[in-house]
């Protein structure tokens, strides 16, 4: 397996009235070709900003990428000109978003929106692009694709619109698909269908998928590997089965404990106590310390590094730092972030 996408020490901040708030605080991970990798974490931990930073889609917001590398095919996307970046977006790397109802243009026909990217990247003439767009809609399981080309997003259900989004994202055969909570806005049966569709895409076209979600159920369903983020940092990473079976970081443990389990009567759903720290006012030391059941003195003093142990698991927790003294530090620099 070769690394298709490699994110190194990515730092992204929002700037407002001379105040800079870093919300992605030295994130590093890699995605191999053909993998489905999940990023999970509570709301506000920086999952979306990470994915937008990878695609360099922060334009129109006050966000800027301050530091780091996004290596895709061994070129650093952060060094590319906007023009070169446009050739990648929607072509070899594309994205689908959380809310399909607002993510499609309400005043343009579905067909036109689909064909734009096809004509731009594949350089198809109009008629060919149209035929191809119809075949794309069919391939994502949209019935009466021909007539849907002439309809507007508000005439379709959320699930159908998300299929349209997927057809759009897949139309130029991307190597990497970033899906930012693609099922969150949909109801449960539709969710399952969309996830099934994404797994199918991977089988058929060997598309690499970076799946962003706050739902561990989705992760266990489709992801080969999972990255757990907390307060703008990666706190744990590993193969999905291993992480679920034996979570290392107390935060991951809490997340898994708070998953509702089918067939098991629970008197009360577990919730991790406390709140996510304010990104504008990050505590010293481990950002999870205030909510951690295993908190030690050192945790509030100094932030642990993300280390890789001999089983290939990565975690950022003082419980294991001493144990793996010889372990490989993944990003030593990250503990100096503000």
Stretch that binds other proteins, among 3-11, 103-111, 132-140, 182-190 (CB under 8 A): 103-111
Question: Nearer Cβ to other proteins, position 109 or 333?
Answer: 109
Candidate residues 6, 67, 69, 99; the one interacting with other proteins per rule CB under 8 A = 99
Name residue 233's beta-bridge partners: 230
Q: Give min distance, CB of 186 to ligand ATP, in A.
A: 15
Q: Which helix (H) or strand (E) holds 36?
A: strand 36-40
| 51 is a site residue for Mg ion (CB under 5 A) | no
* Residue 100: strand, helix, or coil: helix
Task: Work out which of 48, 51, 103, 213 binds Mg ion, going by CB under 5 A.
Answer: 48
Stretch that binds other proteins, among 2-10, 51-59, 258-266, 272-280 (CB under 8 A): 51-59
Secondary structure percentages of the chain, helix, strand, coil, to 5:
35, 25, 40
Query: Between 26 and 63, whose beta carbon lies closer to ligand ATP?
Result: 63
DSSP string, 172-224: T--SEEEEESTTTTS-HHHHHHHHHHHHHHHHHH--EEEEE-S-HHHHHHH-S
- Residues 146-175 close enough to bind other proteins by CB under 8 A: 152, 154, 165, 168
- Regarding 213 and contact with Mg ion (CB under 5 A), the answer is no
Residue 168: what are its φ and ψ, rounded to 5°? Answer: -65, -45
Q: How far is the CB of 43 from Mg ion (least distance, A)?
A: 7
Task: Tell me which of 9, 91, 193, 205 binds other proteins, using CB under 8 A.
Answer: 91
Compute the radius of gyration of the chain from its Cα atoms. 21
> Smaller CB distance to other proteins: residue 90 or 159?
90
For residue 167, which of 103, 102, 96 has the smallest C-alpha distance? 96
Which residues sit at the interface with ligand ATP, rule CB under 6 A?
A: 14, 23, 41, 43-49, 61-63, 214, 279
Residues 6+ apart with CB under 8 A from 37: 29, 31, 209, 210, 211, 223, 224, 225, 226, 227
Map tokens 């991790």 to a residue.
272
Buried/exposed 210-225: b ≥16 CB within 10 Å, e otherwise: bbbbbbbbbbbbbbbb
CB of 152 to other proteins, least distance (A): 4
Cβ at position 138, least distance to other proteins in Å: 20
Give me the least distance between CB of 146 and ligand ATP, in Å please: 35
Residue 116, binding choice from Mg ion, other proteins, ligand ATP, none, Cβ under 5 to 8 Å by partner class: other proteins
Scan residues 267-296 and list those touching other proteins (CB under 8 A): none
Q: What minimum distance in Å lies between the beta carbon of 165 and Mg ion?
A: 15
Partner residues linked to 8 by β-bridges: 69
Q: By C-alpha distance, which of 129, 103, 105, 134 is closest to 118? A: 129
Instruction: Please report whether residue 111 would count as binding other proteins according to CB under 8 A.
Output: no
- Rounded to a whole number of angstroms, the minimum distance from the CB of residue 85 to ligand ATP is 19
Place of tokens 């979600």: 213
CA distance 111 to 151: 8
Give the binding range for other proteins (CB under 8 A) out of 53-61, 201-209, 249-257, 283-291. 53-61
Residue from 2, 17, 18, 59 touching other proteins (CB under 8 A): that is 59
* Binding status of residue 89 toward other proteins by CB under 8 A: yes
Rule CB under 8 A: is residue 105 a binding residue for other proteins?
yes
Query: What would the two tokens of residue 46 be?
Result: 């920086």
Using DSSP bridges, classify how beta strands 233-239 and 225-230 pair: parallel, antiparallel or unpaired. Answer: antiparallel
Minimum CB distance to Mg ion, residue 227 (Å) = 14
Residues that bind Mg ion (CB under 5 A): 48
């Amino acid at each position: 397996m070769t690394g298709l996408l490699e994110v190194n020490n990515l730092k992204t901040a929002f700037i407002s009235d001379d105040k800079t708030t870093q919300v992605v605080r030295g994130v590093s991970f890699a995605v191999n070709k053909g993998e489905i990798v999940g990023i999970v974490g509570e709301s506000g931990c920086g999952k979306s900003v990470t994915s937008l930073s990878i695609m360099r889609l922060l334009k129109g917001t006050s966000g800027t990428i301050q530091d780091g590398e996004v290596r895709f095919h061994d070129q650093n996307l952060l060094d590319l000109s906007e023009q070169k970046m446009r050739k990648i977006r929607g072509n070899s790397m594309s994205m689908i978003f959380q809310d399909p109802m607002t993510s499609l243009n309400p005043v343009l026909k579905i067909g036109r929106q689909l064909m734009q990217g096809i004509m731009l990247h594949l350089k198809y003439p109009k008629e060919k692009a149209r035929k191809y767009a119809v075949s794309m809609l069919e391939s994502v399981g949209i019935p009466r694709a021909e007539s849907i080309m002439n309809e507007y997003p508000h005439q379709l259900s959320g699930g159908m619109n998300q299929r349209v989004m997927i057809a759009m994202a897949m139309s130029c055969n991307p190597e990497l698909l970033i899906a930012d909570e693609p099922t969150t806005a949909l109801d449960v049966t539709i969710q399952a269908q969309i996830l099934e569709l994404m797994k199918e895409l991977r089988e058929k076209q060997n598309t690499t998928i970076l799946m962003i979600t706050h739902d561990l159920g989705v992760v266990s369903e489709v992801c080969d590997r999972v990255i757990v983020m907390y307060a703008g940092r990666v706190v744990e990473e590993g193969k999905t089965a291993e992480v679920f079976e034996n979570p290392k970081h107390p935060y991951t443990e809490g997340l898994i404990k708070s998953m509702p389990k089918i067939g098991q009567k629970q008197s009360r759903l577990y919730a991790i106590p406390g709140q996510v720290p304010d990104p504008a006012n990050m505590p010293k030391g481990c950002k999870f310390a205030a909510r951690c059941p295993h908190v030690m003195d050192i945790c509030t003093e100094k932030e642990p590094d993300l280390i890789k142990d001999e089983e290939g698991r990565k975690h950022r927790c003082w419980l294991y730092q001493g144990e793996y003294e010889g372990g490989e530090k993944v990003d030593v620099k990250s503990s100096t972030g503000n």
